Amino acid sequence: MRTSGLMGAGLLGLTLTLAGCAGTPPSPYEKAAGEYEGVLPCANCSGIQVDLEMMNMDDTGGAYSLNSLYQGRSDEPMITKGNFLVLKDAGPQQIPTIYELKGAGGNTIYYLRPLDNGDLEVLDTHMQTIQSGADMTLKRQ
């Protein structure tokens, strides 16, 4: 009798522990943290190979590391590290969420819009979709 009581208490404890591990689902910002890559159009090279890592995200921003290789112009990527801001209902189209990557001097490097599939779309300087017909997507890795 005593053994079954201890076993029952043990099972209850295990159940509560496992339920606690499930926790809350990750926020949209935690989901967006990760690595992205793509080749963006370039006026004076064959394309810009972009590798972006977004980290330490919360609902206000986070940190990033950006490697940009100008194909056909350089064998060494430009490496930029900095912070980004999460903008809400931004731009003329009132896009719900935009990530603004800031450079060392505080200048904006990219505006990025998260897509439903987890990728990021590069926006123009006015936070609007670029209508060039080129692929402006950084794909989640």
CATH number at residue 122: 2.40.128.640
pLDDT, residue 4, reads 54
3-class SS of residue 28: helix
For residue 11, tell me if it sits in a domain.
no
Distances (CA, A) of 102 to 10, 30, 36: 52, 19, 17
130 part of a folded domain: yes
pLDDT in single tens digits along all 141 residues of the chain: 555 555 554 444 444 444 455 566 655 556 678 999 999 999 999 999 999 999 988 889 999 999 999 999 989 999 999 999 999 888 788 889 999 999 988 899 999 999 999 999 999 999 999 999 999 999 999
Asked whether residue 14 is domain-assigned, the answer is: no
Host domain of residue 67: 28-140
pLDDT at 28: 56
In a domain? residue 3: no
**Residue 5 to residue 20: CA distance in whole angstroms:** 23
Alpha helices per DSSP H over the chain: 2-22, 28-32
Q: Which residues pair with 39 in a beta bridge?
A: 49
Residue 42 lies in a domain: yes
In a domain, 44, yes or no: yes
Residue 84 lies in a domain: yes
In a domain, 19, yes or no: no
The domain tally of the chain equals 1
- C-alpha dihedral sign at 99, 104, 108, 110: negative
